[in-house]
């Protein structure tokens, strides 16, 4: 049985893809770019935070000036759209409630802005399920930097040998490795599941309910 599970957010706890796609497409149009992305294409944009997404979305037009112009349009939309279609993946909330009721502590470590991360977790999961939710604050290094995971372990008296990181992509694997934790990879997310990624993960699961067997 694990003492604690630390979760990524986008593509792991919440299906945020539709809102992210609408936000970036509307922002690109408002900023004067003739670029748009399908839902599938948006998979390749997600990971390492909003700044990384903006750089990827600009493609060959990625200059400092264009980055700032698009970021100005994207960030307000990114924050305001997140409540429109975002929701937990099917079966995930009851699974996490089941795990939590049996004494496993749950945490969230995401590259989303901290206030936004707390807001959408509150809206979709309430306030009692997760011991702490940490997003990215100004000046902080994003995942895969391990400082948030290390803070969870230190501040909550966790035994690192009994902590599991749960995510859906390469940045999550790197975060787990930098934190010296094993990774449970969720195949319902937004990552690109190449063999070299899969073989580095301690667990690979296809449905949220499988997490209960691993955690308990």
Domains of the chain: 4-15+87-215 (3.40.50.1000), 17-85 (1.10.150.240)
**pLDDT over 70, % of the chain:** 100
Confidence of residue 193 (pLDDT cuts 50, 70, 90): confident
- 46-73 average pLDDT score: 94
- Confidence at residue 17, expressed as pLDDT on a 0 to 100 scale: 94
Please state the pTM of the whole predicted model. Answer: 0.93
* Calpha distance 75→55 (Å, rounded): 13
- 100-128 average pLDDT score: 97
- 140-162 average pLDDT score: 97
- With CA atoms as reference, report the closest residue to 183 among 200, 165, 170: 165
- 20-40 average pLDDT score: 95
- 162-172 average pLDDT score: 95
């Amino acid at each position: 049985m694990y003492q604690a599970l630390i979760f990524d957010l986008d593509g792991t706890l919440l299906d945020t893809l539709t809102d992210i796609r609408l936000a970036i497409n509307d922002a690109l149009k408002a900023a004067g770019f003739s670029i748009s992305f399908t839902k599938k294409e948006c998979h390749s944009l997600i990971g390492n935070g909003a700044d990384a997404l903006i750089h990827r979305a600009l493609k060959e037009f990625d200059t400092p000036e264009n980055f700032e112009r698009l970021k100005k349009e994207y960030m307000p939309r990114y924050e305001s759209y997140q409540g429109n279609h975002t929701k937990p993946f099917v079966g995930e909330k009851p699974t996490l409630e089941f795990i939590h009721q049996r004494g496993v502590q749950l945490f969230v470590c995401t590259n989303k802005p901290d206030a936004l991360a707390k807001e959408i977790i509150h809206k979709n999961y309430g306030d009692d399920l997760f011991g702490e939710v940490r997003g990215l604050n100004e000046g902080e290094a994003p995942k895969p930097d391990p400082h948030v995971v290390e803070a969870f372990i230190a501040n909550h008296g966790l035994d690192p040998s009994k902590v599991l990181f749960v995510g859906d992509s390469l940045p999550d694997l790197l975060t787990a490795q930098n934190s010296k934790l094993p990774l449970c990879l969720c195949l319902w997310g937004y990552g690109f599941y190449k063999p070299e990624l899969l073989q580095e993960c301690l667990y690979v699961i296809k449905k949220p309910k499988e997490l209960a067997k691993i955690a308990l």
